[in-house]
Amino acid sequence: MSTYEARLAALREQMARDGLDGFVVPICDEHMSEYVGDYAQRLAWLTGFGGSAGSAVVLKDKAAIFVDGRYTIQVRDQVDGKLYEYVGTADQNVIGWLGEHAPHGSSIGYDAWLHTRDWARSAEAKLAKKNAKLVAVKHNPIDAVWEDQPQPSLAKLDVQPDEFAGKTAAVKRADIAAWLKAEGLDATVIAALDSVAWAFNIRGKDISNTPVPRGYAIVKADGSAEVFVAPEKLTDDVRVHLGNAVALRSYDEFPNALTEYRDQNIGVDPERSVAAIFAQLEDAGANIVAKRDPTVLAKAIKNEAEVSGHRAAQARDGAALSQFLHWFSQEAPKGGHDELSVAAKLAEFRGQSDKLMDLSFRTISGAGPNGALCHYSVNEETNRKIETGTLYLVDSGGQYRDGTTDVTRTMAVGEPTAEMIKRYTQVLQGHIALAQAVFPKGTTGGQLDILARQYLWADGVDYAHGTGHGVGAYLSVHEGPQRIAAFGGFGEPLVAGMICSNEPGYYKDDAFGIRIENLILVEERDVPGSEQDMLGFETLTFSPLDRRLIDTSILSDSQRKWVDDYHAEVLEIVGPQLSDDPLVWLQAQCSPLI
């Protein structure tokens, strides 16, 4: 019996002991985080799936794993198809699958600390049609059989200086208090980890690559607050920073603390707060008002200090990436390198800066066919050699005190094929179209998404991921509420100060992957004669493109000018940070297109 077959059997035995006919296993923690601590990697432990998004359902006699288009290939490589049915979420979600496969009269378990209230309500309604019920378990059955499950991190918290935050924690609390009074609320629950970190100007090391502490907060209309974190994580500096208006309580006290709000009007974000929070407040007799976490939009709209910090971090990061690209251009054609060694070299270049705190996510280092897995995560088993005649895709970023970076470059190793050049140029054309967009206030990212896809669509191809996501300020590399995508966040207007990624791509199964990603800042745009307020984008990321992959014959004059202007800026910003051979190489890469 394989490891994962044994784990699946152990879960089913525990389900039987708990009186369950099925159980739902998401990748999630108690804060609805995208990236979770090791203790919460229950889906990976159970199935072997290493992606950052997905779910599984285990019944007595069958099981299924659900992933989106980013992981269609990866899930088949990592998860045994004899144990789990593969289900694409574009075709069917967990609830729909349960509606078809859950036995009549069955009890399907779920952990209310890992799902939203809306999800639970929808699942209950679907199961009721089969006289089945959804059961909130008291203890997660995976935790009962995961013998060497890691403990949650006890890493110390630290303070994000006001010079980088741009606004003190006291001012942020006052802003939240003013919002509460305007909404007629007594308090609000802040459950998302990046929201807690931003609101109180604190950071942590509880999740790899994301500098957030594991904790909750409750902010009250009088401007006071309670922060719930493990006492072992606090330092004197953090206590002094938070001050007397912030009561510090143990993380484990949070569920009971919710019972103290009887008859009070409490704002809770249904998207970022788990079902158990709603249940605790309802049982306590609180008046729950579904409201978006008041920090979400404020956090997304960067202030002057945050924008300035981002620019500094991007310039620093661009120099490290450019040094790497020079090294790669010299060394990759010689052979002897692989995905892991090349990713390590890139980390080494970033690590030369004493301002680097961490990587912003695990580097996506995809050689040849692995580059076609758009959210590929290399390991010792999948590690592939860098070979001549292929493309290499690297998506990476750094966490700096003053900003978070995220950038993707695709490079040819040896001579690229005509198909590679064509697709790269089409991706570049889409990237340029979005970078050059000028649009009225109130426009959403969903309305702009087609700009990046139009050249691929015209040739009958596409890519299965969003074109852009928000990025935090020394926080989460994926930040809402804005997105540039035809799905999720479609209705969120873009606002000056928001930072997004611009990352169209193309992926040919078993052959190669292409992605070009820069970060862009939404800015007000003065359009002569305009009859309405307009917005546009400022590009923040600076490192050269691979000229060998650009077919200048299909670029318009405007597109050619954009590439030349962009490369001139790269040379202006990055050039002074380089010397010797890397500088000579950069000057050549940034010369005007022929």
Do residues 339 and 432 share a domain?
yes
Do residues 29 and 139 share a domain?
yes
The predicted pLDDT at position 89 comes to 86
Assigned domain for 594 exists: no
Do residues 446 and 544 share a domain?
yes
324: domain CATH number? 3.90.230.10
Assigned domain for 389 exists: yes
Asked if 353 contacts 324 with a C-beta cutoff of 8 angstroms, the reply is no
pLDDT(490) > 80: no
123: domain CATH number? 3.40.350.10
End residue of a domain, out of 122, 145, 168? 145
Asked if 475 contacts 210 with a C-beta cutoff of 8 angstroms, the reply is yes
Please give the Cα distance from 266 to 313 (Å, whole number). Answer: 38
In Å, the largest CA–CA distance within the chain is 73
* pLDDT tens per residue across span 311-327: 999 999 999 999 999 99
Assigned domain for 150 exists: no
Do residues 136 and 162 share a domain?
no
Give me the domain span that covers residue 461. Answer: 301-589
End residue of a domain, out of 110, 145, 180? 145
The predicted pLDDT at position 248 comes to 98
Which residue type does 515 have?
Answer: R
Assigned domain for 288 exists: yes
Please give the Cα distance from 353 to 358 (Å, whole number). Answer: 11
Return the SS3 of 23. Answer: strand
Q: Which two tokens stand for residue 170?
A: 């006291």
Q: Which two tokens stand for residue 40?
A: 């919460």
Do residues 432 and 471 share a domain?
yes
Assigned domain for 151 exists: no
pLDDT(488) > 70: no
Q: What are phi and psi of 34, to 5 degrees?
A: -70, -50
The predicted pLDDT at position 594 comes to 85
Do residues 388 and 530 share a domain?
yes
Return the SS3 of 437. Answer: coil
Assigned domain for 311 exists: yes
Tell me the pLDDT of the chain averaged across its residues.
96
Do residues 433 and 401 share a domain?
yes
The predicted pLDDT at position 522 comes to 98
* pLDDT tens per residue across span 118-129: 999 999 999 999
Please tell me whether the overall predicted TM-score, pTM, comes out greater than 0.85 for this model.
yes
Assigned domain for 153 exists: no
Do residues 31 and 177 share a domain?
no
* pLDDT tens per residue across span 531-556: 999 999 999 999 999 999 999 999 99
Do residues 257 and 324 share a domain?
no
* pLDDT tens per residue across span 265-291: 999 999 999 999 999 999 999 999 999
Assigned domain for 399 exists: yes
Across 129-195, where does the E strand assignment appear? 133-136, 158-159, 187-190
How many domains are there within the chain?
A: 3
Return the SS3 of 394. Answer: strand
Please give the Cα distance from 326 to 484 (Å, whole number). Answer: 31
Do residues 573 and 464 share a domain?
yes
Do residues 75 and 176 share a domain?
no
End residue of a domain, out of 262, 292, 322? 292
The predicted pLDDT at position 470 comes to 97
* pLDDT tens per residue across span 381-403: 889 999 999 999 999 999 999 99
pLDDT(70) > 90: no
Do residues 133 and 169 share a domain?
no
Return the SS3 of 300. Answer: helix
